[in-house]
Structures are given as structure tokens and as C-alpha cells.
A and B are shown apart, each in its own frame.
Chain A
Amino acid sequence: MDSSLFTRVDPTTWQIEPHGAMRVPGIIYANEALIRDMDDKVYTQTVNVAALPGIVGAAYAMPDAHWGYGFPIGGVAAFDPHEGGVISAGGVGFDISCGVRTMLTGIRLADIQHVKISLADSLFRQIPAGLGSEGAITLEPTAMDAMLIGGARWAIQEGFGEPSDLERIEEHGSVAEARPDRVSERAKKRQRREMGTLGSGNHYLEVQAVAEIYDEDAAAAFGLKRDEIVVTIHCGSRGLGHQIGSEYLKEMLITAEAANIVLPDRELACAPIQSDVGQRYLGAMRAATNCALANREILGHYTRRVIRHFFPGIDMPLLFDVSHNTCKVETHAIGGKTRTLFVHRKGATRAFEPGHPSLPEDIRRFGQPVLIGGSMGTGSYVLAGMEGNTAKGFSSACHGAGRAMSRHAALKLWSGRQISDTLFAEGIVIRSPSARGIAEEAPGAYKDVNIVVETTERAGLARRVARLSPIVCIKG
């Protein structure tokens, strides 16, 4: 991307001055190299988002931003319902409430090495992954609606999880005002056999070791100790979320014209928050969010079962569970005034600053844990929301490394077997139903996660607490 298109506010803040139909500026957080390598479409999509009705402050893009659907992936935008603000199905994304959870194990790295291959095989057998895999749970209509209202709470009531998990999940495991009656029968049918499945693409389950600590106090509060094992799961609302996304995107595209909303890109299809379709989508989206929270809780339960088979009786508390495809109602102080806003984060993570009242008391003073998935080979990060970040993208941070090349480009460069063998030589065991899937998700196909998180920290969004390196990776 041409850096001369921006006003450089500081070393990591690049501003697009309002022009044309833009109602607010665009702001991209990046260093020089990330801006240079970023797809031109991130600029176009940020400009387009800045033109939507009722947008507040600025249209933001995080350091891992890349070409998305309407919104850039890594995009953040907040809308005021009292100023004609909109809700956008594309701004939430197809995989509603896709996110990451990390569980602690207390197991030492040295104690897992001799079982890691059997552990990888067991996890691969027990965690349904990839297209065509089936969960062990079938949800009939009454149970489906209970799940869509209860989220992770429902999962725990059904025996899939531990009650202490709830305080470490956003919204305490269950989003209010979910409306199963706003979810189509087709969406429910698509989810009927999908609870407790990982999905595919960039979704994964990883056994990781804490490789480096950056902030001793925060790491201690989060329960992270160097050379100890954690387990991280990345997945979302499965078929239900995808179906809701597709159906409402179409409806919002058709109704936008009647609402006099000019769409620079069809994928930006949206509806006024205070409209019939806007309200129906919100109810359905919240139900899908609960589906994702329930799904990750169930996968966490399966994981605990497998790990405890190898390490009987261990405690596996949840460090945190975050969603990075969401729209949430939050209050933010804008220009000295507290406003209630609908904050869209598409491929971006909420990162509340230290002291935020919604955070669990025992970790509140360190800021919200932010879980960043890297690629199979390069590792992941735990960050914490930084003081003062509410004025920077409504307390948001990046969500991953972000792809650097297309799936086909990756397939041309690598084979799945070659990637598995190379990583195995480095001590990382990969299991996946698809060799081609491994090649498409090759570590080299992603941006350098280290640079993305360093930039996130330098920009004042979230600071590094610990780096995690992969030991076992189950790819869908």
C-alpha cells in the first residue's frame, strides 16, 4: 500500500483523512513494513466503512488487517443507534463469534514430550475436525433453543464443562437478548449435528508451551509459567453462524435500498439498528454467539477428558475465552461523554483496559487477556488490554497473524507432507484430515505474528504477556 495516502499521526498510526462519502477518518495501526505490505483493498474497505450511517469516531483497522468482506478483516467500527447507526452482517462475518480459548494445565513441557505423539493421536480421534466430521451430540428443537439462549452456561448444565469457566468467558458465557425465534429452521438444521466440532480452514486445537514471559506480574495473575503447557482452541459458531450470516446478508442487501443506505460494496449490506431487520439480525447474531460459546465450552470439555487420560486428576482452569467476529453493545467515553455504541469487530479482539468492571476481579488490574493465534510453526501470544486504549479503536486489538498469501499460492510452494515433516523435526506434531489443508495453512502463508503483536503493543492497544510455542496441532 502507498504510505503517501495517509497522514502519519505517529509511528504506528496511519490516518486516512475524510474525503468523498466518508463521515469519519480511517485509522490503520501498523508499522511501515506492515503498511507497505498491506493489501490496497484494506484502504478501500476502511474508506467504505467510514461512509456508513451513524459511525462514531473513526473506521479502524488492526495491524493484522487484510482483504475481507465489506469490512477489512481486522476492522473495528462503532455505531450510535440514536444517530441512524447500522448493524452490518458483513461487519460481523460469516463465522459469528469465531474466537479463541486457552486453558491452563500446569503440566511441565518436559513431562509431555514422551507422550505427545499418542496425545496428538488421541486428540485427533476425539475432536471431530474437518468437513464431514460429526459430533456426538444431536440437538433436537427444544435443546437447540436452550443452547442458543444459554451458550456456555447451557453446555455446563449439560455436563460439558466446569462452572468456574463462566467468569473467564466474555459475557460470562451467555449473551443476553438472544432470540432463537429469529434463527431460521435451515440454520438450526445445519447445526443439529455440529456441536462439539472444530470445523476446518484456519480453525485448530493446539497444545502449546509457554515459551517466553514479557510481563511477570500479569503472567502470574493469568496463571502462565514458563515451560508449562496450555491448550488453545480456535473455532466459532459452525454451520449455524454461517447460515445466519448468509441469510441476513441477503436480506440487508435488499432492504438497504428502502432504508436509503448507499452501499459502496454489496458485502457492506447493513440495516439501521433501530429497524425490523436490524433487530431481528441482532437477536439471531446473539443466538449464534451463544452457539459459539457453547461449542468452545464443549470442545474444552473433550480436550480436558483426553488430557486427563494422560495426566489423571489435573486441574485445567480456563485462562480466557474471547470472540473476534462480533458486534457488542458497549459504553465508551467519546470526547468526555459516555455513549452506548454497537461495536463491530471483524477479525479483531476486544481488549478492555486495566480496571474495566466487566473483567474478573483477580485479573482486572492487568487488563483483558487477548489471545492471538499465530500459525502452526510460529506460535501464539497472550496479550493484555492497555491503559487508554478506549480512545484507540474502542479497546480493540489484533486477532492473529493475518494471511500473507492466498491458499493457492501456498499450495504451489508447499506440500502438506513436507510441512508436517519439517514441523515434526522442530518438535511439533501435526494431525489433520487433509494434507492439502495443512499446505494451505502453512506457516509461511501467514504474516510474521511477532511483528503484528509488537506493533499492537507499540500502538498502545494491547501489551505482550507471554508467547506460546506449538507442541501438538490438530487442524480441521
Chain B
Amino acid sequence: MSAAAPPDWVPEMIEQRGGIDRGWAHFPHAADIGVEGWGPALAVAFEQAALALTAAVTSAKVQPSIEVAIECQAPDRELLFVEWLNAVIYEMAVRKMVFGRFEVSITGNQLQGKLWGEGIDPARHEPACEPKGATYTSLRVSQSENGIWSARCVVDV
């Protein structure tokens, strides 16, 4: 494993940011896009994956000027990950916003999150796609031997 590689790096990983301790990546899907985040805690992996979601939409910098709080729950970690991304997608759609900073805390099957972002400015953000929903395809939440958590799934765009 190279120094910059996430815990379950696979050769098809196509874009990534961050280092071995935390970061995010995109992985390919025939029609859509895969998002993955990793970090020293489950919550960090979820936060990083949300950054990957934003990067699928825009390459522009996102100003963290407005804060939005969300809550979600699911029977297990993997479904909770999909719920989390779907909650972010919902706020993007309803508020017409993009988010550039995320803070997650997870207790059992409950997640509390804070999102910081700004209203979409089509001219500046040039949104490449509109996420429809996070899916159970390639869904995996796991912890590697060195303790790093990772969370990934395909997002329908």
C-alpha cells in the first residue's frame, strides 16, 4: 500500500484527496459514480465520503457560510451510511445548496450531522450532475487492521 492510499484501495480508484489517515475518492460505475471516504473513526469516513459527493457535483470551492443540522437512523452501519448521504442529497435538493464541510457524530444507529455550505451559483459552481440518491451498489462500511474506517457506495446521478 502506498503512503497516500486508502485502506481498501483498488486500482480503478480514479480521483482522490487526502492521505492514509483520512481522505476521499471516486470510483467508477458504468453510468454513475462511486464515492468513498476513510478516516480514523467511522464518523470521519462518513464526513469524507460526503466531500466526495460534493466533488462529484462541483470542482469549485464551496464557502461554508450556512449551517444545516440533520439527523438520521438505520438498522446497521451500512444502511446508516446510505441514509447519511441521502440526507445530504435531500438538503442539497430542497435548499438548492452545495456543502463543503461536514461534521458527523454517531451513537449506535443514530447519526447527527452538521453541514456547512452555500446556495448553488450555477455560473461559479457549474454543477456537473444532480445526485438522485445513494444506492446499495458497492456499499461497504469496514475497518481495516490498522484501525482506519472506510465507507463507500455508488450514487445515482
Contact = CB atoms under 8 A, between A and B. Distances in A.
Contact of B139 (A66, A266, A403, A436): A266
B127 interface: yes
Contacts of B29: 67, 406
B86 A435 contact: no
A454 B139 CA distance: 36
A132 B28 contact: no
Interface in A430-449: 433-437, 440
Contacts of A239: 93-94
B96 A267 contact: no
The listed residue with most A CB atoms (<10 A of its CB), out of B119, B126, B128, B136, is B128
B1 interface: no
Contacts, number: 128
A190 B31 contact: no
B26 to A, nearest CB: 6
Interface in B112-148: 119-122, 125-130, 132-137, 139
B82 to A, nearest CB: 7
A253 B90 contact: no
Contact of B130 (A199, A254, A435): A199
Contacts of A435: 126
A433 B126 contact: yes
A290 interface: no
B157 to A, nearest CB: 5
A132 B96 contact: yes
Contact of B93 (A66, A67, A190, A407): A190
Contact of B136 (A134, A189, A267): A267
A134 B120 CA distance: 11
A436 B157 contact: no
Interface of A: 39, 41, 66-70, 73, 94-95, 130-134, 186, 189-190, 192, 199-202, 239, 242-243, 245-246, 249-250, 253-254, 265-267, 269, 403, 405-409, 433-437, 440, 476
25 contacts: A41-B30, A67-B30, A73-B31, A94-B132, A95-B156, A130-B130, A132-B125, A134-B96, A189-B94, A190-B93, A200-B128, A201-B130, A242-B132, A242-B156, A243-B90, A253-B136, A403-B31, A406-B29, A406-B33, A407-B28, A407-B32, A407-B157, A435-B126, A436-B128, A440-B129
Interface of B: 14-15, 26, 28-33, 57, 59, 74-75, 79, 82-83, 86, 89-90, 92-94, 96, 119-122, 125-130, 132-137, 139, 154, 156-157
Given A69-B156, A131-B129, A201-B130, A250 B83 contact: yes
A403 B30 contact: yes
B128 A245 contact: no
The listed residue with most B CB atoms (<10 A of its CB), out of A39, A41, A73, A249, is A249
Nearest to A198: B130
A250 B126 contact: no
A130 B133 contact: no
Contact of A200 (B31, B127, B134, B136): B127
A242 B133 contact: yes
B4 to A, nearest CB: 18
Nearest to A186: B90
B115 to A, nearest CB: 16
Contact of A131 (B28, B82, B130, B139): B130
Contacts of A68: 31
A94 B30 contact: no
Contacts of A242: 89, 93, 132-133, 156
Nearest to A42: B30
Contact of B57 (A131, A134, A243, A267): A131
Given A67-B29, A253-B79, A440 B135 contact: no
Contacts of A250: 74, 79, 82-83
A405 B33 CA distance: 11
Given A130-B122, A133-B122, A253-B79, A408 B33 contact: yes
